[in-house]
C-alpha cells in the first residue's frame, strides 16, 4: 500500500482524474456496505438481497460494478506504459495483484488468527478482483487494443462452452456446474465457501475468467472516455454500447441464464451494460454539467420530487401496490442521490475504495467478535438502538446498514480531508 497526497490544485486534480468514475466507485462501496451489513438477515428488503440462483437484483450489480470500474481506471493507469508489455508494467501488475489478494486473505482470517488453516477459504471478493484485474491488465498489454473486444468475446464464448459441454446433466445448476468441479479439484472442498449448503465458491477460479471479461468491458469504456474526452458524444456512445450489451445479455439469458454465483457470460454482458449506462449518466452529470452547479442538482431534485409525489398519490389511491411503492422509492432515491452528490459524499469512498472496503470488513468482523453479555456488538446495536425505532423491522435493519455506511464514511473522510490516497 502506498499513501499519496491528492493534488492541492483543484483544476489539476480534476484534470488528472475522471471525477464521475470516483463518484461511481464511491456509490458502489457505499451500496456494498448497505447490502453486506443489514441489522438482521431475517428482515431485508428484496432489492438488497442477492438472487437465490438465476436472476439479477440491484445487489447482484455491486461486484461486477467494482470490476467494471477497475477496468475503466485501468485504461488511465496503463496509459503511461503506452499499453505495451514491459518489465516495469509486469512488476506493477504483480505487485497490485499480490497486495489485493493478500488483503482478501487477511479478511478471510481476521480476527481468528489462531485457527485451523486446513479449512481456510482461499478465494473471496478481493481475491477475485486481484486475479481478474491482473489477468485483464496482462491481456490489455499483450493484445492489440483493436482486438480487445475479440478477446472478450472469445472468453465469454469459451466459458459458455466449458460450462455447457463439461457440466453435468444440468450444467448451470449449483450441483452440476463445471466451475465447482474445477474449484474442488484445484482448491479442495475444505477451502471453498460453504454458504450455499455445499462446497461451492461464487468467487472461484474458473468463473474468474468471465469476471476478467467484465474488467475488459470496463477497459473499453475507459478507452471511450479517455479518447473522446468531456463531450456529449462520449455520453452517447457509452449509453448506446450499454444498451446493446444489456439487450445482448437478456437475449443470451434464454440459453445461458443470467447468474452471479457462476458469473455467466450473459450476466457479464447484462451487468457490464448497466455499468456503462450508469457511467454515461454520471459522466454527463459530473464531468459535463458539473456537480457544483445548483442548477443541475436542482433539475435532479425536481425529477426526484415529481416521482416521489406521483408514487405517493398512486400509493394512496391504490392502497399501496408494489408499482406505486417502486415509483415512490425511486423518487426518494433520486432526491437523496442529488443531495449526496452536491455534498461530495461519495468522494471519501471513491478516492480510497480498497481502504474503505477493508475498514468495512474489519469493522463488521470486529462487531461480530466482540460480546456484550450474551449478544455480539453487532446484534446489540441492532436490538437496542435500531429495532425499537420501527415497527417494520426491515426499516430497522436498513437503518443499521446506513449507520455502518456513515461510520466507514467518517473514517474515509479523515483521509479525504488530509488529501491522502492509499494506493494498492
Instruction: Name the phi and psi angles at 50, rounded to 5.
Output: -75, 155
Q: Are residues 7 and 120 in the same domain?
A: no
Q: Are residues 323 and 423 in the same domain?
A: no
E-assigned strands of 125-250? none
Q: Of 301, 316, 343, which marks where a domain is finished?
A: 343
Residue 280 belongs to some domain of the structure: yes
CA 382 vs CA 358, 373, 399: distances in Å? 22, 14, 9
Residue 6 is predicted with a pLDDT of 61
Cα(121)–Cα(368) distance, integer angstroms: 18
Q: Are residues 261 and 135 in the same domain?
A: yes
Considering its fold, how many domains does the chain have in total?
A: 3
Residue 24 belongs to some domain of the structure: no
First-to-final CA distance of the chain: 5
Domain with 232, as residue range(s), is 63-288
**Tens of each residue's pLDDT in the chain, 424 residues:** 767 666 544 434 434 578 999 999 999 999 999 999 999 999 999 999 999 999 999 999 999 999 999 999 999 999 999 999 999 999 999 999 999 999 999 999 999 999 999 999 999 999 999 999 999 999 999 999 889 999 999 999 999 999 999 999 999 999 999 999 999 999 999 999 999 999 999 999 999 999 999 999 999 999 999 999 889 999 999 999 999 999 999 999 999 999 999 999 999 999 999 999 999 999 999 999 887 677 778 888 999 999 999 988 988 887 767 788 888 889 999 999 999 998 999 999 999 999 999 999 999 999 999 999 999 999 999 999 999 999 999 999 999 999 999 999 999 999 999 999 998 8
CA 47 vs CA 87, 128, 243, 326: distances in Å? 45, 24, 22, 11
Q: Are residues 92 and 229 in the same domain?
A: yes
Cα(180)–Cα(200) distance, integer angstroms: 6
Residue 323 is predicted with a pLDDT of 83
Q: Are residues 122 and 242 in the same domain?
A: yes
Q: Are residues 251 and 385 in the same domain?
A: no
Residue 316 is predicted with a pLDDT of 84
Residue 12 is predicted with a pLDDT of 40
Residue 423 is predicted with a pLDDT of 87
In 3D space, the residue among 410, 302, 377 whose CA is nearest the CA of residue 33 turns out to be 410
Q: Of 328, 343, 358, which marks where a domain is finished?
A: 343
Q: Are residues 133 and 37 in the same domain?
A: no
Residue 4 is predicted with a pLDDT of 65
Residue 299 is predicted with a pLDDT of 86
Q: Are residues 177 and 253 in the same domain?
A: yes
Residue 228 is predicted with a pLDDT of 92
Amino acid at each position: 500500500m502506498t499513501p499519496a497526497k491528492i493534488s492541492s490544485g483543484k483544476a489539476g486534480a480534476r484534470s488528472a482524474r475522471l471525477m464521475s468514475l470516483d463518484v461511481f466507485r464511491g456509490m458502489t462501496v457505499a451500496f456494498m456496505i448497505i447490502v453486506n451489513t443489514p441489522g438482521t438477515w431475517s428482515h431485508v428488503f428484496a432489492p438488497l438481497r442477492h438472487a437465490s440462483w438465476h436472476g439479477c437484483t440491484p445487489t447482484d450489480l455491486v461486484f461486477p460494478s467494482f470490476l467494471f470500474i477497475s477496468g475503466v481506471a485501468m485504461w488511465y493507469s496503463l496509459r503511461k506504459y503506452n499499453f505495451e508489455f514491459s518489465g516495469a508494467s509486469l512488476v506493477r501488475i504483480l505487485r497490485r495483484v499480490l497486495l489485493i489478494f493478500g488483503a482478501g486473505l487477511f479478511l478471510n482470517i481476521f480476527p481468528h488468527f489462531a485457527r485451523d488453516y486446513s479449512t481456510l477459504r482461499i478465494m473471496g471478493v478481493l481475491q477475485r478482483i486481484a486475479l481478474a484485474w491482473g489477468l485483464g491488465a496482462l491481456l490489455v498489454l499483450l493484445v492489440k487494443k483493436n482486438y480487445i473486444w475479440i478477446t472478450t468475446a472469445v472468453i465469454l464464448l469459451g466459458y459458455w462452452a466449458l460450462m455447457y459441454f463439461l457440466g453435468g446433466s444440468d450444467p448451470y445448476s449449483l450441483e452440476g456446474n463445471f466451475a465447482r468441479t474445477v474449484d474442488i479439484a484445484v482448491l479442495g472442498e475444505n477451502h471453498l465457501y460453504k454458504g450455499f449448503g455445499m462446497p461451492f465458491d461464487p468467487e472461484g477460479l474458473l468463473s474468474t475468467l468471465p469476471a476478467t471479461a467484465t474488467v475488459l468491458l470496463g477497459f473499453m469504456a475507459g478507452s471511450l472516455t479517455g479518447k473522446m474526452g468531456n463531450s456529449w458524444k462520449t455520453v452517447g456512445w457509452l449509453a448506446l454500447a450499454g444498451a446493446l450489451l444489456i439487450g445482448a445479455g437478456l437475449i443470451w439469458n434464454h440459453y445461458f441464464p443470467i447468474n452471479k454465483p457462476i458469473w455467466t457470460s450473459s450476466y457479464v454482458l447484462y451487468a457490464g451494460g448497466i455499468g456503462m449506462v450508469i457511467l454515461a449518466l454520471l459522466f454527463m452529470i459530473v464531468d459535463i454539467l458539473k456537480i457544483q452547479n445548483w442548477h443541475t442538482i436542482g433539475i435532479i431534485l425536481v425529477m426526484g420530487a415529481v416521482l416521489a409525489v406521483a408514487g405517493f398519490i398512486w400509493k394512496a389511491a391504490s392502497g399501496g401496490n408494489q408499482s406505486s411503492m417502486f415509483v415512490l422509492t425511486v423518487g426518494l432515491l433520486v432526491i437523496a442521490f442529488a443531495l449526496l452528490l452536491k455534498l461530495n459524499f461519495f468522494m471519501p469512498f471513491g478516492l480510497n475504495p480498497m481502504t474503505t472496503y477493508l475498514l468495512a470488513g474489519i469493522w463488521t468482523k470486529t462487531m461480530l467478535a466482540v460480546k456484550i453479555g450474551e449478544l455480539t456488538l453487532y446484534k446489540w446495536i441492532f436490538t437496542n438502538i435500531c429495532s425499537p425505532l420501527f415497527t417494520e423491522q426491515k426499516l430497522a435493519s436498513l437503518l443499521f446498514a446506513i449507520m455502518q455506511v456513515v461510520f466507514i464514511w467518517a473514517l474515509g473522510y479523515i483521509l479525504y480531508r488530509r488529501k491522502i490516497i492509499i494506493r494498492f
